[in-house]
Structure 1
Amino acid sequence: MWLSASAAGLALIAAWAGAALLSPDNLATQLALRNLPPSLQHPFGTDWLGRDMLTRTLKGLVLSLKVGILAGAVSAMIAAVLGLLAATMGSLADRIITWCIDLFLSVPHLVTLILIAFVLGGGAKGVIVGVALTHWPSLSRLIRAEVLHLRSAEFVQVSRRLGKSRFWIGTRHILPHLAPQLLVGLMLIIPHAILHEAAVTFVGMGLSPHEPAIGIILSESMRYLSTGMWWLALFPGLCLLLLVRCFGRLGEHLRLLVDPRRAHE
């Protein structure tokens, strides 16, 4: 478990460091180098403007990673707040929040995300807000169930009989138990956020075309696949899947680690 988790972490660090170390000149237009297939000098080849595809891909991965982490963190915060409110603010609040959770879960994430991004005019703001507002329901339901379970726990009941306030019980008993769940939920939201950001950008409702985002790279490459320039889509697509898989593996290992029934695995 630790070997595969370490490999996933190293892959993420390598992508971030590689994007920082590569020269920005590789993103400049060099028509003399356009449409070059993969080689030692350009491992991912070059595009129709002579830009190095390795540099564009790594820059795009870092950009997608930033958007995914930010949107995932906001989504996890929304899930935590709504889950706590549903479990602690009475039956009316619980019914309203549960209805909202069921409503969002009944509509595909991508459809709602595209609508929100369209209303906000696209761009990074539209994508981040759209992802943040569409990825919280499942985690919020989990947090609600966990809080309801903790409220009936014996140590919480003892604290109440001893006269401890709700704030004291929440900060000393409930939040420490929710922190691992939130961390795992965040790690599992991030890969979904990255994929959905790439999908929205691919259809033209996401990040600006002037930014080296993976969705933009894949969208532009569609016009050149019929001419035999397969490397324009293959390598960025594989790197995107690798990044998503790394976060998925990290999230699964964290889930096993915080689950006392399966920690020995």
Structure 2
Amino acid sequence: MNSNTRGYSMRQKTLFYIGFCILLLLTILFSGNLITDGALRVNFIDKNLQPSFNHIFGTDWFGRDMFLRTLKGLSLSIIIGALSTIGSGLIAIMMGTAAAIGGKRIDFIINWLIDVVMGVPMLIFLILISFSFGKGPQGIIIGMILTHWTYLARVIRAEVLQMKFSQYVIASRSVGKSNGYIVRHHILPHVYPQFLVGLILMFPHTILHEASLTFLGFGLSPHQPGIGVILSESLNYLSTGQWWIALMPGLSLLVIVRLFDLLGESIQALYNPYKAHE
């Protein structure tokens, strides 16, 4: 297969992943928001049913349909993950750009801050921040915004440092263009692919960390829908043989995470010629 054919195949594969991921996210979001509390009401007649055509994910100890609970939980996780990813991405691009063009002192301060954040175990840092802000969705979002920006900031810093000494940036400086003009017209368009890939790869991590925090009791309230809440509750019933209560929601979460990992890798390979020919 020649390079042109391989590149076309990679583009087709990436476009397929993008379309499928967008469709899946929109389907989960709309379906989750359409599910009312009445659809999740207690029904002891149908409690503890294994997966079947009527209840493809089975039912729990209260007779609630696990497929509907999973959709509701995933929709909330996606919203939290998206808000956290956008917030972290904005911090990353500001910090990375400032470190690269702001001089040695600013570069030192930002790199020191990155080392501090990355030096603390992620989950412990998330627990402390989430607990400080009252847990719940707002605590989770703030915690992930303040902890997930570091790696992407370093990637952007490295890209901006390369751009800083490129011919057209030097030419812009020679004719008196400001740093703001150079960043808007030369640097940001160049780092956009890396920024996009970083956001896509960050998104599944925020979803997993939200579920982990909730599972440990430092995230969503037990009265709120969430995959972490479902998994935490299911531990009390695994010993009785109700495997589907934990397996089906957990598997759904892993499928979403893996799908976006593949999407990020495909886009990264599309923009990186070395990866595209591996």
Q: What one-letter code is carried by the residue in structure 1 that aligns with 2:131?
A: F
Partners in 2 of 1:56 and 1:244 — Cα distance?
18
Match of 1:122 in 2: 135
1:35-184 map, 5 Å: 35-184=48-197
Change (3 A) 1:16 1:223: same
Deviations 1:132-172 (A, max 9, x none): 11111111111111111101011111111222222221111
Q: What one-letter code is carried by the residue in structure 2 that aligns with 1:158?
A: A
Tell me, what secondary structure is at the counterpart of 1:32? helix
Partners in 2 of 1:72 and 1:154 — Cα distance?
33
Match of 2:41 in 1: 28
Deviations 1:49-105 (A, max 9, x none): 111000000111111111111001101111111111111221111111101111111
Asked if structure 2 preserves the Cα contact closer than 8 Å seen for 1:87 and 1:147, the reply is yes
Query: What RMSD, in angstroms, separates the aligned Cα atoms of the two structures?
Result: 1.8
Q: What one-letter code is carried by the residue in structure 2 that aligns with 1:133?
A: L
State percent identity of aligned pairs: 51
Change (3 A) 1:42 1:23: farther
Partners in 2 of 1:194 and 1:124 — Cα distance?
12
Asked if structure 2 preserves the Cα contact closer than 8 Å seen for 1:9 and 1:246, the reply is no
Partners in 1 of 2:179 and 2:24 — Cα distance?
43
Compute the displacement of 1:8 (Å): 4.4
- Which consecutive residues of structure 2, in runs of 5 or more, have no partner in the other structure? 1-9
Tell me, what secondary structure is at the counterpart of 2:64? coil
Match of 2:221 in 1: 208
TM-score, normalised with respect to structure 1:
0.94
Partners in 1 of 2:160 and 2:78 — Cα distance?
30
Q: What one-letter code is carried by the residue in structure 2 that aligns with 1:32?
A: I
Asked if structure 2 preserves the Cα contact closer than 8 Å seen for 1:37 and 1:231, the reply is yes
Asked if structure 1 preserves the Cα contact closer than 8 Å seen for 2:35 and 2:72, the reply is no
Compute the displacement of 1:12 (Å): 3.4
Deviations 1:205-232 (A, max 9, x none): 1012111100000000000111111110
Give 1:231's match in structure 2, choosing from 244, 264, 267. Answer: 244
Q: What one-letter code is carried by the residue in structure 2 that aligns with 1:186?
A: L
Give 2:259's match in structure 1, choosing from 215, 227, 246. Answer: 246
Partners in 1 of 2:93 and 2:252 — Cα distance?
31
Compute the displacement of 1:250 (Å): 1.2
Asked if structure 1 preserves the Cα contact closer than 8 Å seen for 2:46 and 2:63, the reply is yes
Asked if structure 1 preserves the Cα contact closer than 8 Å seen for 2:33 and 2:75, the reply is no
Change (3 A) 1:105 1:84: same
Deviations 1:190-249 (A, max 9, x none): 111000000000011101211110000000000011111111000000000001111111
Partners in 1 of 2:79 and 2:46 — Cα distance?
30
Q: What one-letter code is carried by the residue in structure 2 that aligns with 1:40?
A: F
Compute the displacement of 1:41 (Å): 0.7
Partners in 1 of 2:205 and 2:83 — Cα distance?
13
Compute the displacement of 1:177 (Å): 0.9
Match of 2:271 in 1: 258
